[in-house]
Amino acid sequence: MAVRPGRTSLVRFAQESWQELQKVTWPSRETVVRLTFIVLLISVLIGIYIFVFDNIFTATITQGILGNPGATPAPAGP
| pLDDT value, residue 8 | 83
- Per residue of the chain (78 residues), give pLDDT as tens: 455 556 788 899 999 999 999 999 999 999 999 999 999 999 999 999 999 999 999 988 888 777 765 555 556 656
pTM as predicted: 0.57
Helices within the chain (DSSP H only)? 5-23, 29-59
Residue 71 lies in a domain: no
Residue 31 lies in a domain: yes
| pLDDT value, residue 71 | 56
Q: Which domain holds residue 53?
A: 27-65
Phi-psi region of 68 (alpha: psi -120 to 50; beta: other; left: phi over 0): left
| pLDDT value, residue 1 | 46
Residue 44 lies in a domain: yes
Structural domain count of the chain: 1
